């Protein structure tokens, strides 16, 4: 079964400059949960890779984060899908850990834990760091315009030196549209 990796904030759910601190702050983007369920039912093994520095900043507890993730999984399951795992980096941007995207530790953990190769796996994100991590692991980066996607798209169009061959990255309005394209291919 093919592996598919998703970023969380800005791809699956609305993002916030104030961080998603509790289940009350967590609001799925229209069509995203259905898209995950559709992909899962079509045979994709879905994993989520998300930077969660709000944990390291003390904005929320591990218990609150796990409550959000449990709710996400339950909602997808209610639609007939399954998320194989949610992998997160709790570190602050300046901590120089190996897991905070654009580093590849989260993606490597997914590969190891799920026993699936990352090579060629679609990796859907809204930020440059998502695309960079995907490329570094041999995944197929896909950009959505939700969340930070418009800002990231502007960087790609300016041919940002931070990512090679930026115009080769497919861009979709949202996760639902990206999922439909993957299912049609």
Residues annotated catalytic, as ranges: 7, 9
Question: Nearest-CA neighbor of 175 among 147, 152, 156?
Answer: 147
CA dihedral 2, 30, 57, 130 (to 10 degrees): 40
**Residue 21 CA, distance from chain mean position:** 18
The answer for residues whose C-beta is within 8 angstroms of residue 99's C-beta and 6 or more apart is 89, 91, 105, 106, 109
Residue 152, H or E segment = helix 149-157
């Amino acid at each position: 079964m093919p592996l598919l990796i998703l970023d969380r904030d800005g791809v699956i759910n609305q993002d916030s400059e104030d961080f998603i601190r509790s289940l009350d702050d967590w609001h799925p983007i229209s069509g995203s949960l259905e898209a995950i369920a559709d992909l899962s039912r079509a045979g994709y093994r879905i994993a989520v890779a998300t930077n969660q520095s709000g944990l390291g900043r003390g904005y929320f507890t591990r218990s609150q984060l796990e409550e959000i993730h449990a709710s996400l999984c339950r909602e997808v399951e209610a639609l007939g899908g399954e998320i194989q795992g949610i992998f997160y980096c709790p570190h602050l941007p300046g901590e120089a850990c190996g897991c905070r995207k654009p580093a590849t530790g989260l993606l490597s953990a997914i590969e190891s834990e799920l026993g699936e190769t990352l090579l060629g796996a679609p990796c859907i994100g809204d930020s440059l760091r998502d695309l960079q991590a995907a490329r570094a692991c041999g995944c197929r980066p896909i950009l959505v315009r939700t969340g930070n996607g418009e800002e990231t798209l502007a960087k790609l169009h300016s041919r940002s030196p931070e990512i090679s061959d930026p115009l080769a990255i497919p861009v979709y309005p949202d996760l639902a549209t990206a999922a439909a394209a993957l299912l049609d291919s």
